[in-house]
């Protein structure tokens, strides 16, 4: 008969075996349903939510930041019907037919297929839960590349209602290989040639299905990028149904600050902004050839107890329309060192003038507001407002609108004059931007010229900044009795506005 010691040892071994088995089971379940563990960063969430409004979406991000992961997660939701409870993006209420595309067979296998299904043939360890996979059909010619996947789809009540099909394609075979079929949704991982992208749109036209692209913009302002940023006149139709999200390395948490610095430093100078920040390499077309690091400041570190009381403040407003954003920036002006600190910004569309004014007023109703020439236009927002200027409507809402439109002391108000003043300040660190203002930096990165002319798309905060620089002489300190102008770059003070 075994001794008590032997029985205790056997019991311990059995317990350890059971616990190890439970651990392996839980580990397997966690790796076979990665969708449950997905917690999108802010820019990933913005990209997903944009799908409810925009048919075409472009997610430009630096290398290894999560753009492909976001593209694959969204595809898994559409294929399975298992949307997160707080999902605000596009929703299909039925099984779908979809495509995932890459550059070549190998890159399609190693990128979108790996994200969706797992590495090699370890199916079920990607974004599509293992229990949703019904059948995987291998393709010919490339080892482990799949031709298609059959996926179980659940309705909103969690009941099985049919199968979704995902087919893997790649750009190298050309647009001709994509012709003929009608598809509900398409994900392009890495930048496609324009003719391939156009064919993808054609394949989804029958159902007006979503097409999204995820890539690092190493090709610069390519034809595909320009379609979203600055389309040709013949490509303007449908521009309102296109959206762009840009994500940089400072907006993710899976790298330490030390690692981020090391990663950025490892890239060649001419590729750094594309690989670390998802900014297309604009070359000579970029308006401000300035590194972001040279004009960033951290509000909490620089001004731990707030701005000095002698700093003068000014807001600057760029008027929008219902669909086009209204934008505003707030600046603190250190007159002694002739340095401007932009510490806040606002950009929003599809809200009324009273709503815009309320948001602007909340930042400090005592702060004077600079505005552009179109503030003199008359508006007919309502029967009561007929005949009022846009400036007047904001003034009625309690904003301290400056008397005159934005212009320099010498009455100059041209765009180029404003840009040159901003550039000079950037180059001497006399115009610096709070590092948390991602909307501002998104515009800064894409602000460029085409055929020598400033491209006036997604430039609302850039314009507001320019108006503020023009009107710096009217900045004021909190608690001052009137709107006294200030000396800028050696100019004399002037009377009230």
Q: Counting beta carbons within 10 angstroms of the beta carbon of residue 198, is it exposed (0 to 12), middle (13 to 18) or buried (19 or more)?
A: middle
> Looking at residue 114, what DSSP letter applies?
H
CB 405, CB 371: distance < 8 Å: yes
For every residue of 383-400, DSSP letters joined together read GGGTTEEHHHHHHHTT-E
Look at residues 333, 334, 363 and name the one whose alpha carbon lies nearest to residue 346: 363
Look at residues 203, 209, 172 and name the one whose alpha carbon lies nearest to residue 74: 209
Query: Would residue 190 show up in a list of annotated catalytic residues for this protein?
Result: yes
For residue 249, the Cα-to-chain-centroid distance in whole angstroms is 12
The widest CA-to-CA distance across the chain, in whole angstroms, is 107
C-alpha distance from residue 174 to each of 109, 180, 221, 327 (Å): 17, 13, 22, 42
Look at residues 423, 430, 427 and name the one whose alpha carbon lies nearest to residue 462: 423
Alpha-carbon distance 137 to 144, whole Å?
10
CB 367, CB 353: distance < 8 Å: no
Please name the residue that has the structure tokens 């209602």: 161
Which residue among the candidates 190, 191, 199, 248 is catalytic per the annotation?
190
Q: Residue 108: phi, psi to the nearest 5?
A: -65, -40
Q: Residue 266: phi, psi to the nearest 5?
A: -75, -15
Alpha-carbon distance 443 to 429, whole Å?
19
Alpha-carbon distance 423 to 417, whole Å?
10
Cross-strand pairs, 396: none
CB 186, CB 171: distance < 8 Å: no
CB 395, CB 259: distance < 8 Å: no
- If one counts every other C-beta atom within 10 angstroms of the C-beta of residue 133, the result is 21
Alpha-carbon distance 407 to 414, whole Å?
8
> How much helix, strand and coil, in percent to the nearest 5, is found in the chain?
40, 20, 40
* Segment holding 318, helix H or strand E: strand 312-318
Handedness of CA 467, 407, 351, 343 (dihedral sign): positive
Alpha-carbon distance 50 to 93, whole Å?
18
- Catalytically active residues are 190
């Amino acid at each position: 008969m075994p001794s008590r010691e032997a029985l205790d040892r056997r019991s311990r071994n059995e317990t350890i075996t059971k616990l190890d088995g439970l651990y392996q089971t839980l580990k397997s379940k966690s790796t076979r349903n990665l969708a449950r563990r997905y917690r999108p960063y802010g820019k990933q969430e913005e990209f997903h939510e944009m799908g409810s409004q925009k048919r075409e979406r472009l997610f430009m991000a630096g290398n290894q930041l999560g753009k492909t992961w976001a593209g694959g997660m969204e595809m898994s939701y559409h294929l399975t019907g298992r949307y997160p409870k707080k999902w605000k993006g596009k929703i299909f209420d039925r099984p779908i037919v979809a495509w995932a595309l890459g550059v070549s067979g190998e890159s399609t296998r190693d990128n979108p297929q790996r994200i969706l299904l797992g590495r090699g043939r370890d199916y079920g360890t990607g974004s599509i839960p293992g229990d949703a996979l019904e059948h995987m059909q291998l393709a010919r010619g490339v080892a482990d590349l799949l031709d298609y996947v059959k996926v179980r789809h659940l309705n909103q009540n969690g009941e099985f209602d049919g199968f979704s099909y995902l087919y893997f394609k790649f750009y190298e075979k050309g647009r001709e290989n994509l012709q003929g079929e009608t598809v509900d949704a398409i994900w392009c991982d890495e930048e496609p040639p324009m003719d391939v992208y156009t064919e993808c749109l054609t394949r989804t036209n029958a159902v007006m299905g979503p097409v999204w692209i995820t890539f690092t913009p190493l090709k610069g302002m390519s034809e595909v990028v320009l379609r979203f940023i600055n389309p040709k006149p013949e490509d303007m139709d449908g521009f309102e149904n296109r959206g762009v999200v840009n994500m940089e390395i400072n907006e993710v948490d899976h790298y330490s600050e030390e690692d981020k610095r090391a990663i950025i430093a490892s890239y060649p100078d001419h590729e750094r902004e594309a690989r670390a920040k998802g900014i297309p390499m604009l070359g000579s077309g970029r308006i401000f050839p300035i590194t972001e690091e040279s004009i960033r400041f951290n509000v909490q570190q620089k001004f731990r107890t707030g701005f000095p009381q002698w700093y003068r403040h000014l807001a600057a407003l760029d008027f929008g329309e219902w669909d086009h954003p209204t934008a505003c920036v707030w600046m603190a002006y250190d007159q002694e060192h002739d340095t401007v600190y932009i510490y806040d910004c606002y950009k929003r569309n599809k809200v009324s003038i009273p709503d815009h004014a309320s948001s602007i007023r909340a930042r400090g109703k005592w702060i004077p507001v600079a505005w552009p020439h179109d503030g003199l236009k008359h508006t007919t927002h309502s029967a009561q407002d007929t005949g009022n200027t846009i400036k007047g409507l904001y003034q009625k809402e309690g904003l301290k609108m400056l008397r005159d439109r934005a212009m320099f002391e010498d009455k100059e108000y041209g765009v180029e004059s404003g840009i040159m003043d901003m550039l000079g300040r950037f180059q001497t660190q006399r115009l610096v931007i709070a590092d948390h203002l991602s909307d501002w930096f998104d515009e800064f990165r894409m602000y460029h010229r085409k055929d020598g002319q400033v491209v006036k798309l997604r430039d609302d905060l850039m314009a507001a900044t320019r108006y503020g620089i023009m009107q710096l002489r009217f900045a004021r300190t909190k608690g001052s009795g009137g709107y006294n102008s200030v000396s800028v770059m050696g100019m004399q003070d002037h009377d009230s506005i």
